[in-house]
């Protein structure tokens, strides 16, 4: 049966099923019946005992998302399958969610209760064209799998600095170790195959669909449609001087000062850092004994010179600097962060300028909160994510810039990660979350700078901090005029 005929059949069935009245029906099972009929049982898991269902439902970075029970889970093998799924969900009035890597920690961004979960894991084709140096991939792979694949060509794509993150991170921007040279991951997009809320399949680029292409480059994931194929500019890679440097509590302020100096004065776009402060649940005894600092130092080349000298001159517990290829850089040992890959995790974000004391005041407020809330968390993380001038220049030079329209650097994002204790009663969980939110809000944000979608919590409404917010609202209305995606799945607010 052709796609068009299948969609027509779905629409006809939806009109004769007595329970199609959304006010009186559980529309999730209705959608699942349609999907099983149109896609076949091999692409739809209905039973909670199905091993595919168990794997999809259980694999989230925020383990609390696994508490929800989809009516069924769909495993599309093509953009056409995704289109059929969208049409069936629309016809039934069911809620739904789209899952790639399951990295976003917000409720219902990639999880659903009593609705349809579209798991994109089977869409994992990838290729490389040496004549154009363009890379093409589908959304079902993790970035680590993509880095491994393109390394055979001595190339890579821009994406996040952790291997297990799904491709949706690129739609929210994607901050790479190579970003100081080339911009954000979304800046390297060249074409995006998209299933629109109507079910139509289009290919968006600088021409055609330039508005849709603009919105999807840093403006979030399934706000305008479901991306089923990425064509991106790949980048050359060879060997890197890279490693982790780990410090203990007594060096905390000295390291923070070195981080600020690097963010403000580093002249070399080949040098990149991510700096992570970690709080353990053990008592600090007022001396920060529960604190450790983990730096990721990465240089695109064999000899960084003294570019990281401010860090290596501070007494450290461990220094793993070595010559590595790019997949090895991404997979540098991170024992402290392994726990963060799966747990009751919450993300929040802040944004600040480097020419003031916010680097220190925000860190101090985070420490005070950590000390006051011992027994409420399993792990805390405070991460500096620099945005240098070279990054914003590179971003704004490509395709008219991304949806964030990156203001001139240097400035930086702070990613706050809270992992609450497993099994924490709901009342206590909500109280900790409220207090954590208040701590981040008290730190404030710099005027005129965008919050980073990849690290944001739903209530932070990061799109409203973009200078392009009004334009993004217009794009959203154009491609989702009846608010189907806005009302039936989780995502960022355009109101």
Domain that holds residue 435: 240-461
Beta bridge partners of 347: 417
Indicate if 302 and 182 belong to the same structural domain: no
495 within domain boundaries? no
Q: Write out pLDDT tens, residues 333-346.
A: 754 454 455 789 99
The total domain count for the chain is 3
Indicate if 310 and 434 belong to the same structural domain: yes
Question: CA-to-CA distance for 334 and 219, rounded, in angstroms?
Answer: 30
Q: Which two tokens stand for residue 100?
A: 């790639």
Q: Where are the alpha helices (DSSP H) in 443-481?
A: 469-479
Indicate if 359 and 244 belong to the same structural domain: yes
Indicate whether 4 pLDDT > 60: no
Indicate whether 85 pLDDT > 80: yes
Indicate if 220 and 338 belong to the same structural domain: no
Q: Write out pLDDT tens, residues 246-257.
A: 998 889 999 999
- The reported pLDDT for the residue numbered 316 is 96
Q: What are the C-alpha distances in Å from 28 to residues 25, 108, 278?
A: 9, 15, 41
Q: Write out pLDDT tens, residues 110-151.
A: 999 999 999 999 999 999 999 999 999 999 999 999 999 999
Q: Write out pLDDT tens, residues 204-240.
A: 999 999 999 999 999 987 789 999 999 999 999 999 9
Indicate if 410 and 290 belong to the same structural domain: yes
- The reported pLDDT for the residue numbered 287 is 62
| Rounded (10°) angle between helices 252-265 and 358-372 | 150
Indicate if 412 and 289 belong to the same structural domain: yes
Beta bridge partners of 349: 415
Residue whose structure tokens are 């100081």: 180
- The reported pLDDT for the residue numbered 289 is 77
Indicate if 272 and 352 belong to the same structural domain: yes
What's 196's domain CATH number? 3.30.465.10
Question: CA-to-CA distance for 297 and 293, rounded, in angstroms?
Answer: 13
Helix count and strand count (H, E) for the chain? 16, 19
- The reported pLDDT for the residue numbered 61 is 92
Residue whose structure tokens are 């790639």: 100
Indicate whether 21 pLDDT > 50: no
Structure letter (DSSP) for residue 489: S
260 within domain boundaries? yes
Cβ atoms within 10 Å, residue 458 = 16
416 within domain boundaries? yes
- The reported pLDDT for the residue numbered 2 is 41
360 within domain boundaries? yes
What is the average per-residue pLDDT within 48-58? Answer: 96
Indicate if 215 and 345 belong to the same structural domain: no
Indicate whether 24 pLDDT > 50: no
377 within domain boundaries? yes
> Which among 84, 66, 168 is positioned nearest to 121, based on CA atoms?
168
> Which among 331, 478, 314 is positioned nearest to 322, based on CA atoms?
331
What's 69's domain CATH number? 3.30.43.10
Indicate if 316 and 439 belong to the same structural domain: yes
What is the average per-residue pLDDT within 56-76? Answer: 95
Q: pLDDT exceeding 70 applies to what percent of the chain?
A: 92
13 within domain boundaries? no
Q: Which two tokens stand for residue 87?
A: 């049409």
What is the average per-residue pLDDT within 142-164? Answer: 96
| Cβ–Cβ < 8 Å for 311, 297 | yes
Give 28's pLDDT tier (boundaries 50, 70, 90).
Answer: very high
Indicate if 150 and 200 belong to the same structural domain: yes
Indicate whether 10 pLDDT > 80: no
Indicate whether 189 pLDDT > 60: yes
Structure letter (DSSP) for residue 64: G
What's 342's domain CATH number? 3.40.462.20
| Cβ–Cβ < 8 Å for 293, 383 | no
135 within domain boundaries? yes
5 within domain boundaries? no
| Cβ–Cβ < 8 Å for 39, 81 | yes
Mean pLDDT for the chain?
92
The domain boundary, picked from 119, 143, 170, lies at 119
Indicate if 223 and 83 belong to the same structural domain: no
Indicate if 287 and 362 belong to the same structural domain: yes
| Cβ–Cβ < 8 Å for 63, 42 | no
Indicate whether 191 pLDDT > 50: yes
């Amino acid at each position: 049966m052709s796609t068009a005929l299948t969609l027509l059949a779905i629409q006809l069935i939806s009109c004769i099923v007595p329970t199609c009245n959304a006010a009186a029906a559980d529309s999730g099972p209705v959608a699942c019946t349609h999907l099983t009929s149109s896609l076949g049982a091999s692409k739809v898991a209905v039973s909670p005992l199905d091993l595919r269902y168990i794997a999809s439902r259980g694999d989230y970075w925020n383990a609390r998302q696994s508490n929800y029970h989809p009516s069924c889970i769909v495993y599309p093998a093509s953009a056409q399958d995704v289109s059929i799924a969208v049409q069936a969900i629309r016809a039934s009035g069911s809620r739904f969610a789209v899952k790639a890597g399951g990295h976003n920690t917000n409720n219902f961004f990639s999880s659903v209760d009593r609705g349809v979960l579209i798991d994109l894991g089977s869409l994992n084709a990838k290729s490389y064209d040496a004549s154009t140096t363009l890379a093409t991939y589908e959304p079902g792979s993790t970035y680590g799998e993509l880095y491994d694949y393109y390394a055979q060509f001595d190339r890579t794509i821009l994406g996040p600095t952790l291997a297990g993150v799904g491709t949706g991170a690129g739609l929210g921007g994607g901050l790479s170790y190579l970003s100081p040279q080339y911009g954000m991951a979304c800046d390297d997009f060249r074409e995006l195959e998209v299933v629109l809320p109507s079910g139509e399949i289009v290919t968006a680029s600088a021409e055609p669909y330039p508005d849709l292409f603009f919105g999807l480059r840093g403006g979030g994931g399934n706000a305008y449609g479901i991306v089923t194929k990425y064509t991106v500019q790949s980048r050359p890679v060879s060997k890197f001087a890279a490693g982790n440097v780990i410090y203990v509590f007594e060096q905390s302020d000295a390291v923070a000062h070195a981080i600020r100096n690097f963010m403000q004065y580093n002249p070399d776009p080949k040098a990149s850092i991510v700096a992570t402060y970690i709080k353990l649940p053990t008592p600090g005894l007022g001396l920060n004994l529960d604190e450790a600092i983990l730096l990721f130092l990465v240089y695109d080349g064999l000899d960084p010179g003294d570019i990281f000298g401010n860090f290596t001159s501070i007494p450290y517990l461990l220094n793993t600097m070595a010559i590595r290829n790019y997949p090895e850089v991404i997979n540098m040992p991170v024992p402290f962060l392994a726990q963060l890959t799966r747990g009751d995790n919450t993300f929040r974000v802040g944004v600040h300028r480097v020419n003031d004391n916010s680097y220190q005041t925000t860190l101090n407020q985070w420490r005070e909160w950590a000390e006051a809330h011992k027994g409420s968390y399993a792990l805390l993380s405070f991460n500096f994510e620099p945005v240098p001038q070279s990054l914003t220049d590179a971003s704004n030079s490509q395709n008219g810039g991304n949806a964030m329209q990156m203001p001139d650097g240097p400035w930086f994002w702070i990613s706050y990660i809270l992992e609450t204790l497993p099994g924490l009663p709901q009342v206590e969980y909500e109280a900790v979350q409220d207090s954590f939110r208040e701590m981040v809000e008290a730190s404030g944000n710099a005027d005129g700078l965008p919050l980073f979608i990849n690290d944001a919590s739903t209530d932070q409404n990061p799109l409203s901090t973009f200078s392009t917010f009004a334009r993004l609202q217009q794009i959203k209305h154009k491609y989702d005029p009846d608010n189907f995606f806005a009302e039936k799945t989780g995502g960022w607010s355009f109101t």
